């Protein structure tokens, strides 16, 4: 079994005590102290203590609202932070209200990030939109506009790192709009042209950003241009596959789960298993990652079976059996809500067991670390097939 992630809550008590003490004495005329409160609240949120973070952020908001100088007071930052906390606690209506109030403090996203300016509030409202579709696009476009201004300003001031960070965020935003046009607005006449324009701009803004190429692949799949989708997925993975998980180039966990799904969809099972192997080392409680690993190995085994490679397909299916069994174990333990995923995992596991039996007494399935040995041969064979298809 992969190791569990280390706890992030070390030292939380001391930090909370300091923040509480500060919140009781902070002056509305002291923007530095107000920002310190928000920093403490943000740290608590990142450590998983949303309720404690909310208490500190509310104290900061109260002090901010009576600040004499709104241009130096981080009122927007307090509102945006409370919006993020509300998302974490599941209070989505409250989150929208906080982000809308944050927009009122900075309608164009031109104020500095440290006092709640910038694009984040617009991007949150796009994701939280009840209407979706054009309403989401409207908020995304406001966020994109703020990011373009921020990029221009950072480049003028010679702040290369800031400019690159904003470019990555702009590319992600453009890709998010493209996703809306592929789903909620797919019925619009110019949806495909809009998608092309968006992914083209994203590619120009951040050509080395993995998310951009993943979205390109998604668009190409929708257009049934599978070879181009495969090439885009390879380019997306090339950005981060050989760097540490903490590297900024590595996409977010949910993005990589989506990547694994796309890889399986276009028949790149070897690459998909490579992705999910890494995911379960980061979070061994991810039901979907274990499911996708089993699904990918099942499909790889089917291809090997068609080629009459008996030892290889049985090895792939033994590994698939272990992944799927772990998926279903966690599915029950965590009371996972995606019933269709559970049904499909059960169906695949039954098919595998029908062919190769249960894993009792099978030394190759005693631990998931051992399964990796079984996966390598089938994955390498599959990767060879993919390379031939790419050429």
146-245: which CATH architecture?
Alpha Horseshoe (1.25)
**pLDDT tens digit sequence for 123-155:** 999 999 999 999 999 999 999 999 999 999 999
Q: How confident is the model at residue 64 (pLDDT cuts 50, 70, 90)?
A: confident
Of 1.20.5, 3.40.1130, 3.30.70, 1.25.40, which CATH number belongs to 252-358? 1.25.40
Lowest mean pLDDT among 51-65, 226-240, 369-383: 369-383
Residues 6+ apart with CB under 8 A from 380: 270
Q: Is the pLDDT of residue 330 over 70?
A: yes
Contact 52, 13 (CB under 8 A): no
pLDDT above 90 for 216: yes
| 3-state SS assignment for residue 246 | coil
- What is the number of residues in the chain? 391
The residue assigned the tokens 């799904």 is 261
Question: Which value, to the nearest 10 degrees, does the dihedral of the CA atoms of residues 194, 195, 197, 201 take?
Answer: 140
pLDDT score for 391:
39
CATH topology of domain 30-117: 1.25.40
Residue 30 predicted with pLDDT over 60: yes
pLDDT, tens digit, 9 for 90 and up, residues 93-130: 999 999 999 999 899 999 888 778 899 999 999 999 99
Find all residues with CB under 8 Å of 181, minimum gap 6, and list them: 137, 188, 191, 192, 194, 195, 198
Mean pLDDT of 265-271: 97
Q: Is the pLDDT of residue 297 over 60?
A: yes
Give yes or no for a contact between 140 and 109, defined as CB atoms under 8 angstroms apart.
no
Q: Lowest-confidence range among 26-30, 161-165, 174-178?
A: 26-30
Whether residue 202 contacts residue 140, with contact meaning beta carbons closer than 8 Å, is answered with no
Task: Calculate the average pLDDT of the chain.
Answer: 85
Could you state, in order of their start, the residue ranges of all structural domains in the chain? 30-117, 146-245, 252-358
Going from the C-alpha of 2 to that of each of 313, 354, 369, the distances in angstroms are 24, 28, 8
* Range in 27-36, 57-66, 245-254, 382-391 the model is least confident about: 382-391
134 contact partners, CB below 8 Å, separation of at least 6: 185
30-117 and 146-245: same fold? Answer: yes
What are all long-range contacts of 345-354, with beta carbons under 8 Å and residues at least 24 apart?
345/291, 345/294, 345/295, 348/294, 348/295, 348/298, 348/320, 348/324, 349/294, 349/321, 349/324, 349/325, 351/298, 352/298, 352/301, 352/317, 352/320, 352/321, 352/324, 353/321
pLDDT, tens digit (0-9, with 9 covering 90-100), for 171-200: 999 999 999 999 999 999 999 999 999 999
Predicted pLDDT at 360: 54
pLDDT of 369: 39
Tell me the mean pLDDT in the region 257-283: 97
On the question of pLDDT at 5 being above 60, the answer is no
Residues 257 and 289 sit within 8 Å (Cβ to Cβ) = yes
Buried b (16+ CB within 10 A) or exposed e, 225-264: eeeebbbbbbbbbebbeeeeeeeeebbeeeebbbbbbbbb
Q: Which of 60-69, 205-214, 324-333 has the lowest mean pLDDT?
A: 60-69
The average pLDDT across 367-380 equals 40
Cα end-to-end distance, the chain, whole Å: 37
- Asked if residue 368 has pLDDT above 60, the reply is no
Residues 6 or more apart whose CB falls under 8 angstroms from that of 227 comprise 389, 390
Confidence of residue 72 (pLDDT cuts 50, 70, 90): low
Asked if 316 and 304 count as a contact pair (C-beta separation under 8 A), the reply is yes
pLDDT at residue number 9: 42
Average pLDDT rounded to a whole number, residues 358-384: 46
Between CA 7 and CA 313 the distance in angstroms is 39
Tokens of 125: 């409202």
Question: According to the model, what pLDDT value does residue 272 have?
Answer: 98
CA distances from 68 to 28, 53, 71, 160 (A): 7, 25, 9, 34
Give the pLDDT of residue 16.
52
> Is residue 295 scored above 80 in pLDDT?
yes
Q: DSSP string of 267-283?
A: T-HHHHHHHHHHHHHH-
Is the pLDDT at 68 greater than 80? The verdict is no
pLDDT greater than 70 at residue 269: yes
């Amino acid at each position: 079994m992969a190791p569990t992630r280390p706890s992030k809550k070390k030292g939380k008590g001391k930090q909370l005590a300091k923040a509480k003490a500060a919140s009781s004495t902070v002056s509305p005329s002291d923007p530095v102290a107000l920002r310190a409160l928000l920093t403490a609240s943000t740290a608590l949120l990142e450590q998983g203590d949303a309720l404690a973070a909310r208490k500190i952020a509310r104290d900061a908001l109260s002090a901010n609202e009576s600040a004499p100088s709104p241009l130096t007071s981080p009122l927007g930052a307090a509102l945006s932070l409370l919006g993020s906390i509300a998302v974490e606690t599941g209070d989505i209506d409250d989150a929208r209200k906080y982000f809308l109030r944050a927009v009122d403090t900075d309608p164009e996203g031109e104020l500095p990030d440290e006092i709640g300016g910038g694009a984040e509030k617009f991007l949150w409202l796009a994701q939280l939109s009840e209407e979706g579709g054009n309403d989401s696009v409207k908020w995304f476009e406001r966020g994109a506009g703020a990011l373009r201004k921020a990029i221009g300003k950072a480049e003028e001031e010679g702040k290369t790192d800031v400019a690159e960070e904003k470019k990555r965020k702009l590319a992600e935003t453009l890709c998010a709009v493209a996703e809306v046009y592929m789903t909620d607005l797919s019925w619009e006449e110019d949806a495909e042209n809009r998608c092309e324009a968006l992914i083209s701009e994203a590619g120009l803004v951040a050509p080395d950003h993995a998310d951009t190429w993943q979205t390109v692949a998604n668009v190409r799949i929708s257009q049934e241009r599978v070879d181009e989708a495969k090439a885009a997925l390879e380019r997306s993975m090339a950005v981060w596959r050989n760097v540490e998980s903490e590297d900024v180039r590595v996409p977010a966990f949910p993005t990589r789960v989506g990547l694994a799904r796309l890889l399986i969809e276009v028949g790149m099972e070897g690459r998909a298993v490579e992705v999910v192997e890494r995911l379960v080392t980061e979070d061994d409680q991810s039901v979907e990652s274990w499911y996708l690993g089993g699904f990918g190995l099942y499909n790889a085994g089917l291809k090997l079976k068609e080629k009459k490679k008996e030892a290889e397909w049985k090895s792939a299916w033994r590994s698939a059996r272990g992944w799927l069994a772990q998926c279903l174990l966690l599915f029950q333990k965590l009371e996972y809500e995606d019933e269709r995923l559970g049904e499909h995992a059960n169906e695949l596991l039954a098919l595998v067991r029908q062919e190769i039996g249960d894993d009792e007494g099978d030394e190759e399935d005693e631990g998931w670390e051992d399964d990796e040995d079984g996966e390598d041969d089938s994955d390498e064979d599959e990767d060879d097939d993919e390379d031939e298809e790419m050429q």
